[in-house]
Amino acid sequence: MKLKTLLFCFLLVCSLSGCDWVKARLGMATSEDIRRMKSELEEKTAMEQRMRDSLEKMRLDSLQAARALQTDGQRLDKRFYVIVGSYILKSNADNMYAHIEKLGLKPSRIKTKNGYEMIASGGGFETLPQACAYWNELYYRDDFSADIWIYDALEGLHSEENPK
Amino acid 8: pLDDT: 76
Give the span between the Cα atoms of 131 and 106, in whole angstroms. Answer: 14
* Residue 72 confidence (pLDDT) above 70: no
Are the beta carbons of 123 and 106 closer than 8 angstroms? Answer: yes
Question: At CA 140, angle to CA 134 and CA 141, rounded to 5?
Answer: 90
Helix or strand (DSSP H, E) at 7? helix 2-16
Q: What is the pTM of this model?
A: 0.54
Query: Which phi-psi region, left, alpha or beta, contains residue 156 (left: φ > 0; alpha: ψ -120 to 50)?
Result: left
Q: Tell whether domain 74-155 is in CATH 3.40.50.12780.
A: no
Give the span between the Cα atoms of 129 and 136, in whole angstroms. Answer: 10
For 112-138, write each residue's pLDDT tens digit. Answer: 888 899 999 988 898 999 999 999 988
For 78-107, write each residue's pLDDT tens digit. Answer: 889 999 999 999 999 999 999 999 998 889
Indicate the domain borders of the chain.
20-69, 74-155
For 100-110, write each residue's pLDDT tens digit. Answer: 999 988 898 99
Amino acid 26: pLDDT: 74
